[in-house]
Amino acid sequence: MNGNQLLIDGHQIFTYLIGKFNMYNLLASYATAILLGKNKENVLKQIKYVKPIKGRFEQFLSNSGIHIIVDYAHNPDGLKSILNTLKIIKKNNEKLICVIGCGGNRDIKKRSLMGKIVYETCDISIFTSDNPREENINKIFNDMKNFKSYLNKKSILTFVKRKEAIQTAIQIAKKKDIILIAGKGHETFQEIKGIRYSFNDMKIAKNLLKTYNK
């Protein structure tokens, strides 16, 4: 959860970035810099200073040891990548809780794919609103649940209000559990019926952790 140690061109490098997908991005950036004629040693020195982008695997560890991850993953590939990374990091006795929504007035086909990925990967699935825009949130929920799975797990929790979904995840979570709040990442608003309301996943999560003394 704190970073990765890499071997690049015979050099051991530490990076604060997490996940295989970020390692691919880092290697691509390194290769591009070398092709552009940059000094190899200088590039390698700078890699360790690269920090995660706000809203992209942005993490916070609460006083009680609960890991909060906020990520912009809003399509099946992005969601699968980050959940696979978290599965590798977490131990068997830790729960992976996911709070996820799908945007309204956007690609409908991806909703059931994302719903299935969360349902089959996470210990607890919480479906909620993302940016519903002009669309009915219950219609979005139905689309997200419209999949067949070989698993027969507990019911999916659904909350129209995103804050209530995050609140429930925090109430459920115990020490070392991981909560992924996906879909909005760096966004500081929620768009509902043409109005943008102030909303920041990480700020709300931190405030709720204080409220519940976690």
Predicted local distance difference test score (pLDDT) of residue 197: 97
For 1, the 3-state DSSP assignment is coil
Predicted local distance difference test score (pLDDT) of residue 92: 80
> 1: closest CA among 121, 89, 93?
89
Tokens of residue 112, six digits: 């059931």
| Distance (Å, whole) CA 6 – CA 20 | 11
166 phi/psi in degrees, rounded to 5? -65, -40
What's the gap between Cα 91 and its chain centre? 18
**66 to 86, 95, 155: CA distances (angstroms):** 14, 10, 23
User: What's the pLDDT tens digit per position in 3-47?
Assistant: 889 999 899 999 988 888 889 999 999 999 999 999 999 999 998
Residues in contact with 140: Cβ distance below 8 Å, sequence separation at least 6, in sequence order: 101, 102, 104, 111, 129, 132
User: What's the pLDDT tens digit per position in 109-154?
Assistant: 999 999 999 999 999 999 999 999 999 999 999 999 999 998 887 7
Name the amino acid, one letter, at 7: L
Predicted local distance difference test score (pLDDT) of residue 48: 85
| Distance (Å, whole) CA 196 – CA 175 | 34
**Confidence tier at 2 by pLDDT (50, 70, 90):** confident
Predicted local distance difference test score (pLDDT) of residue 27: 93
Place of tokens 């004629």: 37
Predicted local distance difference test score (pLDDT) of residue 30: 94
pTM of the predicted model, to two decimals?
Answer: 0.89
User: What's the pLDDT tens digit per position in 73-111?
Assistant: 999 999 999 999 999 888 888 999 999 999 999 999 999
Domains of the chain: 4-47 (no CATH), 58-211 (3.90.190.20)
For 1, how many CA atoms within 13 A lie in the half-sphere containing its CB? 18
Predicted local distance difference test score (pLDDT) of residue 182: 97
Higher pLDDT, 17 or 164: 164
